[in-house]
Structure 1
Amino acid sequence: MNRVTPKLLESVRHQSVESKVVPSLERRRLRAYAVMLLADGAMFHLCFALAAMLWEGRWWEPRAMLAAQAMLPAYFTIALYNRTYGVRALGDWLFASRQAVGALLVSAALINFVGFYTKTNEDFSRASVTLGLLFTAILLVALRRVQAMVIARQWDGRVTNRLVIDDGGSSFPFDGADRILAADYNLDPASHDPFMLDRLGKLLRNQDQVVVSCPRERREDWAFLLKCAGVYGEIVSEPAHSLGAVGVHRYDELDRTTLVVSTGPLGLRARILKRAFDVVVAGSALLVLAPLLIVVAVLIKLEDRGPVLFIQRRLGRGNQFFDMFKFRSMREDKLDHTGERSAGREDDRVTRVGAFIRRTSIDELPQIINVLKGDMSIVGPRPHALGSRANNKYFWDIDRQYWQRHCLKPGLTGLAQVRGHRGATEHEKDLTDRLQSDLEYIAGWSLRRDIEIVLRTVRVLTHENAY
Structure 2
Amino acid sequence: MLEKSIDSRFLTRAGFMELFIAGVKVTHALTAALPAVILLFCLESPSSDVWHTVLGLLVFFAVLTVIMFKALGVYSEDFFSNRLRFRVMLMAWTSAFCILLFMYQGLHLLPVFSVRDLALWFFASLIMFGIERLLLLHLFRYWMDTGKYLQRTVILGFTESALFVAEHIQRNGDIRSGLIGFIDDRTERIPTELSGLPLLGNSRDLEKLIRSEQVNQVLIALPWAAEARIGGLVKRLRQMSVNVALVPDITTLRFGHNRITDVAGILMFNTSELPLKGWSPLIKRCEDLVLATVGIVLLSPILLATALAVRLDSKGPALFRQKRYGYNDRLIRVFKFRSMYVNQTDRNAERQTTREDPRITRVGRFIRKTSIDELPQLFNVLMGNMSIVGPRPHATATKAAGVPFEEAVREYSSRHRVKPGITGWAQINGYRGETDTLYKIQKRVEYDLEYISKWSVWLDLYIVFMTIPAILSTKEVY
Q: Is the pair's TM-score, using the shorter chain for normalization, greater than 0.5? A: no
Q: TM-score, normalised by structure 2?
A: 0.44
